[in-house]
Structure 1
Amino acid sequence: MTLDQLRIFIAVAAREHVKQAASVLHLSPSAVSAAIQALEARHGVPLFERVGRGIRLTQAGHLFLAQAQTVLAQADAAEALLEELAGGTRGRLVLGASQTIASYWLPRHLASFRLANPEIELELSIGNSATVAEAVRQGRAELGFIEGEVQEPDLLRTQVARDAMVLLVAPGHGWGRKVNQAEITATPWVLREPGSGTRAVFETAMAARDIDPASLNLALELPSNEAVRGAVEAGLGATILSSSVAAPSLEAGLLRQVEFPLPDRSFYLLRAAKTRSSPAARAFMARLGVSVAQ
């Protein structure tokens, strides 16, 4: 069993598709299939099963995936140590970021870092705050960027920015410039999914006003900021979004901001507490002004 076989297995498992994994890995589909077949044949354990025209992990495959991810994370840590000892400037940095950060805050920092470090390859995965934190904890991303709180003792958290939140409705919505508690509980809401930083801010803001979020009229729950913004523009209800997300629609007159006291939220950088940061990660953190003592 080789590390390359493990990388191929993890890539196929993440996408449940051989051709997509092959494209990401810059390999031929036949090479990817051969690596999976070699793993299965060597140990006599099927890792994938066919479902229609696709594939999915078997029960054994799910169990093996967790171990494979751990082994690769440890191997990457060992390689990072050697790179650091050698003082090399080449490498690969895997980042995870929530949607708001990935779309509106992080790109300029990625561009700046890339210009200064052209030999360091950057890879970014996007999810909600909960999935990003889990990716860093499991070693699938070395650095993560999320909004709001996360309770993970295995992770170090550093604030890197602040973000203003706004209450939004369509121009034709019945609310005035301000809103009271009765109007909040009566109107339909369009919200991000549980686990997102935006949803957490909304629920915290409601609870602070003695409003049970579960008692509100949830009209629609969507997995992206842009989908939420579009639904509210269409008049489906009210929402809370980052001011960065809302700005284009506010300027175009497609949304209207309602006065409502909302706390700013923090953008945080996450990293593993017990893993030595790679030279690439240390360089990226230094560019953000984050201590790289670890």
Structure 2
Amino acid sequence: MTLEQLRIFLAVAERQHVTRAAEVLGLTQSAVSAAISALEARHGVRLFDRVGRRIVLTEAGTAFMAEARAVLDRAETAEMVLEDLAREPRGRLRLHASQTVASYWLPPRLVALRDLHPGIELRLTVGNTTQVADAVAEGAADIGLVEGEVAHGGLHLQVVARDRLVLVMAADHPWAGLTEAPLAQLAACPWVLREPGSGTRSAFEHWLAGQGLSVADLPETLDLPSNEAVLSAVAASRRLAALSLRAVETAAAAGRIRSLPLPGAERPFSLLTDPRRHRTRAMQALIGLLAG
């Protein structure tokens, strides 16, 4: 079994398609098929079933995916350790960040890192807070950046910035001319919320609890998976939302929405690392920039 065979297996397994995997890998379809066949023959196990022109993972193939991914993650870590022997920080950094952090806070800092250390290759994946923490804990990410509470107790958490939620409404909403949010009326209004698992949703639920409320107390809610989706829904309706101040600044400046402060709705932006993993010079350079 070789690392190349594992890479090919994962590419096919993730796409359930030999041709598409071959295109991504820059290989011929016959080379990909041969690698899968050799892997199956060497270990006497069928990883895929051929169903007409399609292929689907077998039960054995599904079980093997997690192990194959873990081996490749460890191989990539070993490669980064070797690359880290150079004086200048270099090598790959796999970053996973929650949407608000990735869209509004992180980009200028990544530009600054590349300007300082052009030998560092950055790979950014965006997800919600739960997905980011899982990626760091499972070794799929070197560094995570989130704005919500983290359930993985084995991770090291470092606060690197502060943020706050604001109440968001359409520019022609009846409350648009107010200077303070009418907190006593919030439970009587329909809402658009970020999806469960997002840092924004977690922070809003925590803030609601401080008001003696929960999401279940809101009369009508709609869950959407991104800040922009929530903003679009709010701008076209009488619904309310709670989003990061950073996420609404552009829409507010354009006159699409209005926002009001939510008292006490502050939250941290936190950097996540796994203390069991080697901290490369590239990681140290980024952490120093973000925490500085």
TM score, norm. by length of structure 1? 0.87
Equivalent position to 1:279, from 262, 266, 281: 281
Equivalent position to 2:249, from 244, 247, 250: 247
- Distance in 2, matches of 1:83 and 1:121, equals 12
The answer as to whether partners of 1:97 and 1:127 remain within 8 angstroms in 2 is: yes
**Correspondence for 1:78:** 78
The verdict on how the C-alpha distance between 1:53 and 1:229 changes in structure 2, with shifts beyond 3 A counting, is: farther
The answer as to whether partners of 1:190 and 1:236 remain within 8 angstroms in 2 is: no
Secondary structure at the residue paired with 2:279? coil
- Distance in 2, matches of 1:19 and 1:161, equals 44
**Correspondence for 1:153:** 153
Q: Deviations over 1:225-268 (max 9, x none)?
A: 11111100111511011111101111121111134314221111
- Distance in 2, matches of 1:202 and 1:54, equals 44
The answer as to whether partners of 2:167 and 2:243 remain within 8 angstroms in 1 is: yes
- Distance in 1, matches of 2:51 and 2:243, equals 39
Amino acid at match of 2:230: V
Amino acid at match of 1:96: H
The answer as to whether partners of 1:83 and 1:279 remain within 8 angstroms in 2 is: no
The verdict on how the C-alpha distance between 1:62 and 1:264 changes in structure 2, with shifts beyond 3 A counting, is: same
Matched positions, count: 290
- Distance in 2, matches of 1:138 and 1:183, equals 43
Per the TM alignment, residue 165 of structure 1 is displaced from its structure 2 partner at its CA by: 1.4
- Distance in 2, matches of 1:102 and 1:52, equals 41
* Identity value in percent: 50
- Distance in 1, matches of 2:17 and 2:273, equals 30
1:37-116 pair list within 5 angstroms: 37-49=37-49, 56-85=56-85, 87=87, 89-116=89-116
Q: Deviations over 1:70-89 (max 9, x none)?
A: 22232233333333345464
Amino acid at match of 2:63: L
Q: Deviations over 1:38-97 (max 9, x none)?
A: 323332333345678765543222211221222223223333333334546441111111
- Distance in 1, matches of 2:19 and 2:207, equals 45
Amino acid at match of 1:230: S
The verdict on how the C-alpha distance between 1:168 and 1:56 changes in structure 2, with shifts beyond 3 A counting, is: farther
Secondary structure at the residue paired with 2:247? helix
The verdict on how the C-alpha distance between 1:203 and 1:280 changes in structure 2, with shifts beyond 3 A counting, is: same
* Unmatched tracts of structure 2, length 5 or more: none
Secondary structure at the residue paired with 1:79? helix
1:127-206 pair list within 5 angstroms: 127-175=127-175, 177=178, 178-206=180-208
Q: Deviations over 1:100-153 (max 9, x none)?
A: 111111111111111222222111111001001111111111111111220212
- Distance in 2, matches of 1:285 and 1:179, equals 37
Secondary structure at the residue paired with 2:265? coil
The verdict on how the C-alpha distance between 1:250 and 1:3 changes in structure 2, with shifts beyond 3 A counting, is: same
* Unmatched tracts of structure 1, length 5 or more: none
- Distance in 1, matches of 2:280 and 2:27, equals 26
The answer as to whether partners of 1:69 and 1:138 remain within 8 angstroms in 2 is: no
Amino acid at match of 2:259: Q
Q: Deviations over 1:175-231 (max 9, x none)?
A: 362444552112111011100000001111111111122221343211111111110
The verdict on how the C-alpha distance between 1:113 and 1:42 changes in structure 2, with shifts beyond 3 A counting, is: same
Higher mean C-alpha deviation, range 167-176 or range 16-25: 16-25
Amino acid at match of 1:283: A
The verdict on how the C-alpha distance between 1:216 and 1:45 changes in structure 2, with shifts beyond 3 A counting, is: farther
- Distance in 1, matches of 2:51 and 2:171, equals 47
The verdict on how the C-alpha distance between 1:107 and 1:33 changes in structure 2, with shifts beyond 3 A counting, is: farther
**Correspondence for 1:260:** 262
